[in-house]
Structure 1
Amino acid sequence: MSGSPDATGTGAETTAEETSRSTGGAAPPAAPPPRGPWWRRVLVDTRPLRQTAYRRLFVGQSVSFIGYQITAVAVPVQMYAITDSSFWVGMLGLAALVPLILFGLWGGAVADAIDRRTLLLISSAVVWGATGALVVQAVLGLNSTWLLLGLTAVQSGAFAVSGPTRSAIIPRLVPREQVASANTLNFTASNFGTVIGPLLAGLLLARWSYAVAYAVDAVLFTVALYAAVRLPHLAPTGERVSPGLRAVGQGLAFIILKPVLLMSFAVDIIAMVFAMPRALFPQVANEWYGGPGAVGWLYAAIAIGSVLAGLSSGWIGRVRRQGLALTLAVIGWGTAVAAAGLARQLWLVVVLLALAGAADLVSAVYRQTILQVYAPDEMRGRMQGVFMVVVAGGPRLGDLRAGATESWFGPTVSWVGGGLLCVVLVVLLTLAVPKLIKYDGAP
């Protein structure tokens, strides 16, 4: 799906959805599922990368996310260096969460009202500008607590708009049967960035400075800006909406009235709130695994499992019972997390958390795919906005739950009990509302 650039330099690629409309609504032709040697059916499905516009978007997101993770490490380290206080480091989370919720919901409504390429360009430029401001404050040695909080909030708010917009674009760039594969590629790349970014951040901060770390992020993010510039125009289809509170309410009502979507969000919230043990990692690294040297492995283990699952995900796009697969993946997540809480050898807990990460990758792909395919295009922006809020807010609530229950019952009960409770609640919920496990991937 390549094309020569048009007069504005933005490219003239034909999107999958535009092809569908031009052929009377029929699905655009897609390459058949990979066949041949067994490894082609096992390894990650790369067919979506044949679509030029999606390939640019994927590369831009993959490269820029590494930089985003570098900044995600550098800002808390700088804040602690300025204040010598974990309280102020925690305030960074609050500064990021509030705009993430507000702009995630509003940004999704805007993505359903205006050209999504334009919105992605604007929000990405704001993220890039905030990163540039981080470079400047580090070079000047301002050491301002409130400036770091403010720039974190700006970055988070802009990211809350660009993230849903980028996700809502994907079904317009690839054939519907390749949406799951495209999401798998995206999540695998993001998890790879979650592993590589912090490692690079540690190297940059140890050998150079905060300014260099932020500058690397700014340079890497230019790839995402280029990808957004080269996207075709993506005007809204269907009924036009006004991006206000009414549009946000319509999106939330759409989810509430669709049991499949509501359940997909519910099981994700259960998984993150009850079975996310990361708030316990610093404590158990010292008490169970011999010291702070283990904490890096604990934080990296889930992402490592997700990356390995993504690289061996050729089967994901061929599963039709996506609701059942999502449910089983969440149950697998909770079970693996509970088992990891009983392990006292570092290698074993890393393996079990990696298994949990693999299950989380599968559940994330199917949640995203169900959301993108089940909702009509005029609702996709708002659906992705809610998805962003749940994905970002759930783990933070999970941190609060893990820390609170640890103070009452100790780390083992908090960790293991949370994983087991996740499994029990998901099973009970899906038995009470079975529409999710019956969902077969139909729009």
Structure 2
Amino acid sequence: MLLDITPLKRFRDYRLLFFGQLISFFGSMMTFVVVPVQMFQLTHSNLYVGLLGVSEFIPMFLLAFVGGALADAVDRRKMLRITEIGQTITIGILLANSLLPNPQIWILFLVVAIQAGLAGLQRPSFEALIPRIVPSEYMTAVSALNSLRFNIGAIISPIVGGLIASQFNASWAYAIDLVTFMASLLAVWMIQSVPPPDNADQPNLESIKKGFRYAISRQELLGTYLIDINAMLFGMPKALFPALAVSFGANSIGFFYSAIAGGALVATLTSGWAKHTHKHGLFIVIAAALWGVAIIFFGLSSNLYYALVFLGVAGFFDMISGLFRGTIWNQTIPDHLRGRLAGIEMISFMTGPMLGDAEAGLIAYWFDLKTSIVSGGVMTVVGTIILALLLPKFVTYDGREGLKRKMEEEEIRQTELSV
């Protein structure tokens, strides 16, 4: 079945966010590609490229908890506005640095760290806002539409960004990103206010602990976090793309990023069947394991076209996993905890790629590119199997029971607040 676009047709604020983020993300993906390319051009080191992920991880990890607590206690629209302004400023800094006669490496590390911190503050509010503007029964469709928005930008933009980086310089890509940010700024200024739930918990250490305890109390949530961390930590070879482009051709850099997004787009456009599927945990496990298998074949490929095909297959299964992870999160988490859990979600799906960059760079530094990629794919498959055995309730999780549980928890909370 084809993509369900009902949320776009029925809900104005979601429509504004969708198209604002769609335009902005086109520029953001250029920066996503060009920063590691610029770092590789300046240092000729896979290790330095991999360390970009480490510099992002620490601020993201710390501030995602803070962002989650704030998302449950303040107007979520206000959080989006403040962080969007901050991210726009960081792109301006990257642009200014790229125009220097000798661009500074330390500025690249500093800016990606600040961007990661701002994302840690913003993402929980964005994720927590969605269930407030779109009813729960549309969450599978929303997950598919969000992935469509992501993949449209992730297919075209890396190719354009890669060509710009190889044929011109990074300044052009950063300038385009700066201009496209205006669309997302406009969108967050036009949506309606989204105040916190009644009697919201105050943003403090105890409220953060409360969200964390809730997350680990449910195997279906814990499974979504651990499965994704495992798959991205070992299986994501993104840090090696600049070095691979040296052997496959400088203009190929953008195609590696786009191939993953292309496969994910195919999964998104054919995702209508997902709303009739309730064994969400089982599908996440299968998809994560198949992602690892595809990465193994990517690492073994010596032909560019075969390599891109296997990356596309990997992207297809990664999107299937992401679709059901998003459905579990948005359908089953009570609104008063949504921001804090969104912070934990962000940590789960960003920890893998960020630390995975360092892991891939280190293995390639000690051995070679092929060993790094293939071993990562193998570890992904093995880790997925082990986690499935350790989390049986996650594998057997039924989405219909999750919806019922959310309703019961919200009824209990309302009863407690009225007493």
TM-score bracket, shorter-length normalisation: 0.7 to 0.9
Match in the other structure for 1:73: 33
Is the aligned partner of 1:191 residue 2:124? no
1:407 deviates by 5.8
**Residue type of the partner of 1:196?**
I
Is the 1:189–1:307 contact (alpha carbons within 8 Å) kept by the matching residues of 2?
no
Q: 1:391-438 CA distances to partner (integer Å, 9 max, x unpaired)?
A: 222023323333444566655554334323322332333233211122
What secondary structure does 2:74 align onto?
coil
Is the aligned partner of 1:172 residue 2:132? yes
Is the 2:90–2:111 contact (alpha carbons within 8 Å) kept by the matching residues of 1?
yes
Match in the other structure for 2:331: 373
Unaligned segments of structure 1, at least 5 residues:
1-41
Is the 2:267–2:316 contact (alpha carbons within 8 Å) kept by the matching residues of 1?
yes
Q: 1:263-307 CA distances to partner (integer Å, 9 max, x unpaired)?
A: 1111111211232234455556667xx555555443432122112
Q: 1:64-111 CA distances to partner (integer Å, 9 max, x unpaired)?
A: 111112223344455566667766655543332222112122111110
Is the 2:162–2:251 contact (alpha carbons within 8 Å) kept by the matching residues of 1?
no
Is the 2:158–2:257 contact (alpha carbons within 8 Å) kept by the matching residues of 1?
no
Match in the other structure for 1:52: 12
1:262 equivalent among 219, 222, 233: 222
Match in the other structure for 2:344: 386
1:363 deviates by 0.5
Output the CA distance in 2 between the equivalents of 1:299 and 1:171.
30
**Structure 1 285/361 Cα, relative in aligned 2: closer, same or farther at 3 Å?**
same
Output the CA distance in 2 between the equivalents of 1:214 and 1:411.
29
Output the CA distance in 2 between the equivalents of 1:147 and 1:411.
27
Is the 2:140–2:275 contact (alpha carbons within 8 Å) kept by the matching residues of 1?
yes
1:242 deviates by 2.1
Match in the other structure for 2:417: none
What secondary structure does 1:314 align onto?
helix
**Structure 1 149/348 Cα, relative in aligned 2: closer, same or farther at 3 Å?**
closer
Output the CA distance in 1 between the equivalents of 2:228 and 2:182.
32
Is the aligned partner of 1:104 residue 2:64? yes
Which range is displaced more, 179-188 or 429-438?
A: 429-438
Match in the other structure for 1:357: 315
**Residue type of the partner of 1:435?**
K
Is the 2:94–2:174 contact (alpha carbons within 8 Å) kept by the matching residues of 1?
yes
Is the 1:124–1:159 contact (alpha carbons within 8 Å) kept by the matching residues of 2?
no
**Structure 1 238/142 Cα, relative in aligned 2: closer, same or farther at 3 Å?**
farther
Output aligned runs, 1:341-356, within 5 Å. 341-356=299-314
Is the 2:67–2:120 contact (alpha carbons within 8 Å) kept by the matching residues of 1?
yes
Is the aligned partner of 1:132 residue 2:92? yes
Output aligned runs, 1:27-426, within 5 Å. 42-50=1-9, 51-78=11-38, 89-138=49-98, 143-205=103-165, 210-281=170-241, 294-406=252-364, 411-426=369-384
1:182 deviates by 0.8
Which range is displaced more, 70-79 or 230-239?
A: 70-79
1:439 equivalent among 392, 397, 410: 397
Output the CA distance in 2 between the equivalents of 1:376 and 1:161.
20
Percent sequence identity over matched residues? 37
Output the CA distance in 2 between the equivalents of 1:166 and 1:242.
19
**Structure 1 205/177 Cα, relative in aligned 2: closer, same or farther at 3 Å?**
same
Is the 2:68–2:121 contact (alpha carbons within 8 Å) kept by the matching residues of 1?
yes
**Structure 1 279/207 Cα, relative in aligned 2: closer, same or farther at 3 Å?**
closer
Unaligned segments of structure 2, at least 5 residues:
404-419
TM-score of the superposition, structure 2-length normalised?
0.85
Is the 1:62–1:186 contact (alpha carbons within 8 Å) kept by the matching residues of 2?
no
**Structure 1 70/411 Cα, relative in aligned 2: closer, same or farther at 3 Å?**
closer
Structure showing greater relative contact order (alpha-carbon pairs closer than 8 Å, 6 or more residues apart): 2
What secondary structure does 2:194 align onto?
coil
**Residue type of the partner of 1:72?**
F
**Structure 1 340/399 Cα, relative in aligned 2: closer, same or farther at 3 Å?**
same
TM-score of the superposition, structure 1-length normalised?
0.81
**Structure 1 357/154 Cα, relative in aligned 2: closer, same or farther at 3 Å?**
same
Bigger radius of gyration, 1 or 2? 1
- The number of residues matched between the two structures is 400
